[in-house]
Amino acid sequence: MSDVTVTYQEHRGYVATLADGSTVVSLSLAGLRNRLPPHARLVLDKRARQERDQRRRGGFGGRERGPARAEHALFAAAREV
């Protein structure tokens, strides 16, 4: 079993660094696991753990609400009035 170091970069997503120095990038941990060998063990750094935990709670992770989500919230608030 080989350990694969994973970090999170807001503009790229989850970034795994393999033992040979190559990188694999994915927007989700599930997508990352699909691109790695089945015996690989993901070792998440602090930033990757924070993003994973925030997503599990249903939040936006390290990202702020984008304009599309903000517009949707304003539209929903206007309908309630």
Q: What is the DSSP string of 16-70?
A: EE-TTS-EEEESSHHHHHHHS-TT-EEEE-HHHHHHHHHHHTTS-TTSPPPHHHH
Mean per-residue pLDDT of the chain: 83
The pLDDT of residue 75 is 56
Does the pLDDT at position 27 exceed 70?
Answer: yes
Structural domains in the chain (count): 1
Q: What is the value of pTM for the model shown?
A: 0.69
How far apart are the C-alpha atoms of 63 and 38, rounded to whole Å?
30
Residue 75, H or E segment: helix 67-80
Report the amino acid identity of residue 51: E
pLDDT of 58? 87
Identify whether the C-beta of residue 32 lies closer than 8 Å to the C-beta of residue 24.
yes
What is the pLDDT at residue 1?
A: 75
The per-residue pLDDT for range 34-67, each reduced to its tens digit, is 999 899 999 999 999 999 999 999 876 555 555 5
Q: Which domain holds residue 62?
A: 3-80
Higher-pLDDT residue of 81, 58: 58
